[in-house]
Structure 1
């Protein structure tokens, strides 16, 4: 077994740099710890330092690490059932599908993947296979696969036949009016800190008006926009949704739920995968669903998330850093005047024992109690004071221009119909119109 005993974080990171770590993704955008264990929301690094996770492992954890019910379910699955079978079907998969389609209004059937990126790619392949159309309209981040790498820029990529409408309703309606009969589906990632349920209900209605599938990428929000996501708690109609983070409390699993006839395009879409049949993650997901059934988990997360959100707002006001704190209690955003200032604050807070998401989106788990919130706020206050002491700060609220710039930088949100945005819409319409239709038709319509 590989050991890091006696090594510092810096030494272990250097070791990783030589053989595995990406300079930006693994090192440059992370705080300098290598963690060896975690319990609840507390992590321990190679130097023995305990640091509080304020990211919920980028949203992957709902209950916290080493939750007894999940540990027992996974251990039991491995010990008494096995890891993976020759057949794609298992009792665990069937039961999990039954419970998910009962839980979410969009669900009539469910299929499973391992990651959020895989689930969203599966969804667009299903849409193309079911409709026989090639164009996809999108807004927001749906993972790292090729078809959506341009998620920050409104426009059209002829190679992937994907057009980004930037959460702009004018753009969506314009694209649907011009190309509706060629559009297989519209997929959007909810941004609950910026756009409310009425906005998404309107998108759903527009898609229904044009007879186009509406897909909600609820990889993060399915268990954090309330207990049942935008589709369930928010009541927004969808033809398909994706679910992942929190579903199996950190184990690799995602699901695509949708209308029966759309999911039944699974064979035509050519979707497959050996590890989609793995049993322990499904056992973990069933344990999570059992644990959250009575509502106590979400009640605790909402309560602790609100304490943290309100406390961070108060800290920033007290130290004189203009900020905008917004969003639901279980996944809220903290926006300051620049990305670099955000990084500096959270980097300083890390030195005081709290690991915040430097992008400014913060998430708690059910393992949070008042002691965890107090620790997070103490570390955040010390870090913010340290940073503020070196700045010349202008008093007052965060400028509206920054509030508009943040969604554009963070998730490609062109939320206002400015002259530049309207021109971009027309440029995109022209690019879509000039696409090589034979290329799209020549390819398998399921191709993602």
Structure 2
């Protein structure tokens, strides 16, 4: 039973619009009424809910932020030392200089860095810098880039413009109508769509923004074409590494996936192993535009974020965490396909090895997903159709997870064959995309 967790959800519903601060952690994204939603403790790859029940977490890994694992001792020890020495004062912390040097050393094309504390605000800073540098307004993008006005403006003229970029249904309510036409989407691996944007808006294009990858690898020539088109019209190329960073190497995924360098790259999530830190790195001529626009915030100067980032980078590099992610991720992907075939499910498996996902090719997918979540919870595993890996996951954890998946798929097949899936659900079917939380 998750009585305390469900009671906390009722309290949260009354006081917090949408229940949570992050769409991806809303319980209705899993199965409302069965997903515990709140935790009392987390360590390694284990999470304890408010009722004291322990789970192996094979779900979203702090939505990709806890790349090493929860409460990593090495990172936490560094943070505790920083706290004891004072997290803020009238002077600046030296750790931000050390972090800037470290990130530029990892990315030799970059000369300078600025820091914030969240991914969305860091992307807004990057776009502001590109606009300040070029004196232009329009941004072309592909992929998911957060909650900010510059991005949601894409849906002002066409409410489905963002649907193919991870989260459908993102409403632009509250975004100034005057921003219509300033954010133009193109699809990944479709350079001809960016070419059409450049042909029509090249003289007003400030930036081209893209993720290094998400569900698919770059096709030969795609990134080179994007770089050439940005150069052709004088736009700034920004790589959003918020999700992909530290999954393929110690640094940005573009270092190993792309033959060309960007003008700026943005990091958050894995950068601090759960502590709030984000970074914008870039070429000097672009980054210096920070001195002709206003970018300033008190909490961007606190000490914990840079300290956590330095400790995370050090351990990630020493342990070669990305090599484990690739090995575990490929094992899980293949396991999903084998289990699905064994139980007669037509499945689609995709995503980065470190952040993989599956779907059933069925109109009842969201009900199947909810029942899968329920079956895994009954085996003391937090799971969804997503699996975000952490260094704390062991080979034994992966095998336990796949064994549990096999048992869950057995029950899914029984429900499918009996035609009584809805009756077996303890909670509600999962939801997809952005919807009002009732």
| TM-score normalised by structure 2 residue count | 0.82
CA contact under 8 A between 2:64 and 2:270: conserved in structure 1? yes
Q: Which residue of 2 aligns with 1:100?
A: 103
CA contact under 8 A between 2:131 and 2:206: conserved in structure 1? yes
Secondary structure of 1:265's aligned partner: helix
Q: 2: CA distance between counterparts of 1:119 and 1:187?
A: 13
Q: 4+ residue stretches of structure 1 with deviation over 4 A?
A: 153-158
* Displacement after TM superposition at 1:106 (Å): 4.0
Q: 1: CA distance between counterparts of 2:386 and 2:269?
A: 15
Q: 2: CA distance between counterparts of 1:47 and 1:343?
A: 21
Q: Which residue of 2 aligns with 1:159?
A: 179
* Displacement after TM superposition at 1:362 (Å): 2.0
Q: Which residue of 1 aligns with 2:133?
A: 130
Secondary structure of 1:257's aligned partner: strand
Higher mean C-alpha displacement, 124-133 vs 46-55: 46-55
CA contact under 8 A between 2:113 and 2:282: conserved in structure 1? yes
CA contact under 8 A between 1:201 and 1:237: conserved in structure 2? no
CA contact under 8 A between 2:212 and 2:257: conserved in structure 1? no
Alignment of 1:8 with 2:4, yes or no, is yes
* Displacement after TM superposition at 1:367 (Å): 0.3
Q: 2: CA distance between counterparts of 1:245 and 1:197?
A: 26
Q: 2: CA distance between counterparts of 1:227 and 1:196?
A: 20
CA contact under 8 A between 2:45 and 2:392: conserved in structure 1? yes
Q: Which residue of 2 aligns with 1:302?
A: 326
Q: Which residue, out of 121, 142, 145, partners 2:145?
A: 142
Q: 1: CA distance between counterparts of 2:417 and 2:404?
A: 22
CA contact under 8 A between 1:192 and 1:225: conserved in structure 2? no
* Displacement after TM superposition at 1:7 (Å): 5.5
Q: 2: CA distance between counterparts of 1:204 and 1:351?
A: 49
> Root-mean-square deviation (CA), in Å?
2.5
Q: Which residue of 2 aligns with 1:441?
A: none
**Cα pair distance change 1:342/1:158, threshold 3 Å:** farther
Secondary structure of 2:342's aligned partner: helix
CA contact under 8 A between 2:12 and 2:19: conserved in structure 1? no
Secondary structure of 2:272's aligned partner: coil
Instruction: Tell me the alpha carbon deviations over residues 77-117 of structure 1, each in whole angstroms, 9 at most, x when there is no partner.
Output: 0012x112334x32100000000011124421010011110
Q: 1: CA distance between counterparts of 2:248 and 2:342?
A: 29
Q: 2: CA distance between counterparts of 1:268 and 1:40?
A: 44
Q: 2: CA distance between counterparts of 1:154 and 1:50?
A: 36
**Cα pair distance change 1:334/1:111, threshold 3 Å:** same
**Cα pair distance change 1:179/1:154, threshold 3 Å:** farther
Alignment of 1:72-221 (within 5 A): 72-80=77-85, 82-87=86-91, 89-149=92-152, 150=155, 152-153=162-163, 159=179, 161-167=182-188, 168-196=190-218, 198=220, 199-221=222-244
Q: Which residue of 2 aligns with 1:62?
A: 67
Secondary structure of 1:16's aligned partner: helix
Gaps of 5+ in 1: 1-5, 394-408, 412-448
Alignment of 1:427-442 (within 5 A): none
Alignment of 1:222-241 (within 5 A): 222-235=245-258, 236-241=260-265
Instruction: Tell me the alpha carbon deviations over residues 211-267 of structure 1, each in whole angstroms, 9 at most, x when there is no partner.
Output: 221111110111113433332122342111101111110001100111111111112
Secondary structure of 2:274's aligned partner: coil
Gaps of 5+ in 2: 156-160, 166-171, 419-431
* Displacement after TM superposition at 1:206 (Å): 2.4
* Displacement after TM superposition at 1:53 (Å): 1.8
Q: 2: CA distance between counterparts of 1:154 and 1:321?
A: 25
Q: Which residue of 2 aligns with 1:428?
A: none
* Displacement after TM superposition at 1:23 (Å): 5.0
Q: 2: CA distance between counterparts of 1:84 and 1:197?
A: 46
Secondary structure of 1:193's aligned partner: coil
CA contact under 8 A between 2:250 and 2:313: conserved in structure 1? no
CA contact under 8 A between 1:154 and 1:164: conserved in structure 2? no
**Cα pair distance change 1:268/1:251, threshold 3 Å:** same
Q: 2: CA distance between counterparts of 1:374 and 1:298?
A: 19
| TM-score normalised by structure 1 residue count | 0.80
Higher mean C-alpha displacement, 106-115 vs 333-342: 333-342
Q: Which residue, out of 350, 355, 365, partners 1:326?
A: 350
